[in-house]
């Protein structure tokens, strides 16, 4: 099995686990899986940038398509901000349902 397929399977596994944790209202576990997904994205971006820099140093005459590291970091930051928004919505939803349960 190729390394890319293994990484894709691991990423999909983290995503599935995160969604299942959200479904079961286990925010701590879903946060763990989200952090793992973001770590994978940042790690991939760093590895791509290392390869890009190495190719420029050792064979500057060959120009390959550049990987935009800043764009990858910005996307990861945006995903983190979106997660914080989702997490806040879930928490308020849980609090509302707890309040409704107490009233009954």
Q: Where are the domains of the chain?
A: 3-103
H or E element, residue 11: helix 3-23
- With cut-offs at 50, 70 and 90, classify the pLDDT of residue 97: low
pTM for this prediction: 0.47
Least confident range from 25-29, 59-63, 69-73, 91-95: namely 59-63
Tell me: pLDDT of 22 over 80.
yes
Q: Give the separation between CA 23 and CA 84, rounded to whole angstroms.
A: 16
- The per-residue pLDDT for 104 is 58
Which long-range CB contacts under 8 A does 9-17 form with residues at least 24 apart? 10/40, 11/37, 11/40, 14/40
Q: CA 33, 37, 42, 48: dihedral to nearest 10 degrees?
A: 150
Report percent pLDDT > 90 for the chain. Answer: 5
Q: Give the separation between CA 83 and CA 70, rounded to whole angstroms.
A: 20
pLDDT per residue as tens digits for the range 46-85: 999 999 888 888 775 544 445 566 777 778 888 888 888 7
User: Under a CB-based contact definition with an 8 Å cutoff, are residues 30 and 15 in contact?
Assistant: no
């Amino acid at each position: 099995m190729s390394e890319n397929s293994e990484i894709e399977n691991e990423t999909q596994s983290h995503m599935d686990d995160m969604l299942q944790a959200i479904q079961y209202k286990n925010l701590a576990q879903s946060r763990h899986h989200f952090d793992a997904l973001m770590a994978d994205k940042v790690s991939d971006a760093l590895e791509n940038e290392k390869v890009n820099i190495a190719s420029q140093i050792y064979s500057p005459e060959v120009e390959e398509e550049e990987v935009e590291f800043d764009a990858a970091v910005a996307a990861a930051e945006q995903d983190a901000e979106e997660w914080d928004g989702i997490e806040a919505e879930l928490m308020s939803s849980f609090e509302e349902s707890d309040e409704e349960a107490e009233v009954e």
